[in-house]
Amino acid sequence: MKKYHIQNAPFVVPTTDGKLIEEHHGRVATNNNEISIAHMVAPPHWSEPFQTPAFDEYTYIISGRKQFIIEGDTVVLEKGQSIRIEKNVRVQYSNPFDEPCEYLSVCLPAFSIENVNRE
């Protein structure tokens, strides 16, 4: 039995807001509850409601810019920057800019809709 798994067909999460979410590893794609790794593209002028996730989230920006409102602080990241947001912290993710934002997201433990705690 091989001790590795190459992901050639990530799970594409259905969305209604134009955001692309490709889960490469995680609860749905690989039945892994410990970590999720997703490739995402947030379209221009996209936003999510505030949330208080029960997982740490790491984000790495591939291109474009992404805005985070973290417990009242507004942070904007751009290409080549990354951030770690601790679990149980109130945050809002958005792309209020005119170009798409492509990024990678890693959640520990793995992302689940039950643990995102959206408002």
Query: How many angstroms separate the CA atoms of 20 and 84, rounded?
Result: 21
Q: For tokens 């109130």, name the residue.
A: 90
Instruction: Look up the pTM and report it.
Output: 0.94
Residue 27 has pLDDT above 90, yes or no: yes
Does pLDDT of 1 surpass 90? no
Cβ neighbourhood burial of 24 (10 Å; 0-12, 13-18, 19+): middle
Tokens 């995402």 — which residue? 40
Instruction: Quote the pLDDT of residue 114.
Output: 93
Matching residue, tokens 């809002």: 92
From residue 28, give the alpha-carbon distance in Å to each of 9, 16, 103, 104.
Answer: 12, 19, 19, 17
71-108 tens-digit pLDDT: 999 999 999 999 999 999 999 999 999 999 999 999 99
How many Cα neighbours within 13 Å face the side chain of 102? 2
